[in-house]
Amino acid sequence: MKVDKLRKIILGSIATIVVIVLGYSLLYTFDWLPSFGEEPERYITLERALETDPVSVEMFFTFSCPHCRSFDPLILDWAEDLPEGVEFIQSHVAFTRTEEILARSFLTLDARGVLEENRERIFRELQDRGRVFLTSEAVAEFVDGSGMTKDQFLTLYGGDRIDRLARTRQERIQDIGVSSVPFVLVGNKYGVFVSQGRKEAVSTVDYLVSEILAGREPPDLSPEPEEDSEEASDEEDALPDSAAESEESSVTEENEEMSDIADETEPETAESDTEPETAESDTEAEVTEDTKAQVTEDPETSEDTQANNDNQ
């Protein structure tokens, strides 16, 4: 009985976990997940020049990113009907060596015009089957027969054209400071994160494009500096003056103490100066300097000397 009961508990727990995972996956797929905590930023304003001819919408992604895969069809669907004066670009980032291979593969497939028939295949191979492309030969074998042959892929992959494109894209990614994906740059100035929700991100991109085309610069949503920070800054600015005053006060007190010490020692010095004169008057001229010292230091010796003089 106990074994059956334990088995039911284990199976029930497993079933509960499966339901939770499936439910979360369903909510995420349809973008129904509620937001918790602070509302994420809709977009950020970068310190870059606004480019309007044309207005570029550039999506940064990688084939190994699950969020990129789920966002990819939404932004591609939006890009199918672009207004005049707007262009859509995708840039594959390369944060690691394997992503560098994927980035060059992306450029190779795009240059050959067979990216669309291989895009979802690569997403599925990496994320559903857990495969990792460690060499360009592995990618060439995978795309062989899907719009190009293995030899065609390797020839284009290792050519000067892809070298230039890969170097230019990577330099731009570093210049912009892309550190996470998916990330969308609008007009070379406004960055959109997908953390606000995939549909919301697309709406934000559409809003930014509309504002720029209308000749209006979208407002800067960067948070204003807090007053506490300004007060702290003022205190830091005032700190050197306070330190100087404290140091000056300390020097003044030290000078006063030295002056008091000097005043206290002056009488003693005067008194000590008279003692040798008194001793000289009480002794005879023949007494040596050693005798003077003994007279000063030892009163009893001084009395004996005086008695001898009286007897003489």
Q: Model confidence over 21-59: pLDDT tens digits?
A: 555 554 544 444 444 334 447 999 999 999 999 999 999
The pLDDT score that the predictor gives to residue 14 is 82
For residue 150, tell me if it sits in a domain. Answer: yes
CATH value at residue 105: 3.40.30.10
In the predicted model, what is the mean pLDDT of residues 182-196?
A: 96
Least confident of 18-22, 153-157, 243-247: 243-247
pLDDT higher at 160 or 20: 160
Contact 208, 218 (CB under 8 A): yes
The pTM assigned to this predicted structure is 0.62
State the Cα–Cα distance between residues 121 and 8, nearest whole angstrom: 41
What is the average per-residue pLDDT within 286-303? 44
240-258: per-residue pLDDT in tens? Answer: 444 444 444 544 555 555 5
The answer to whether position 62 is within a domain reads yes
Percent of the chain with pLDDT over 90: 56
- Is 302 within a domain? no
298 occurs within a structural domain: no
- For residues 238 and 220, give the distance between their C-alpha atoms in angstroms, rounded to a whole number: 32
End-to-end CA distance of the chain: 132
User: What integer pLDDT is reported at residue 154 of this predicted model?
Assistant: 98
Q: Report pLDDT digits (tens) over 260-278.
A: 544 544 444 444 444 444 4
Q: How many structural domains are present in the chain?
A: 1
Strand partners, 183: 60, 193
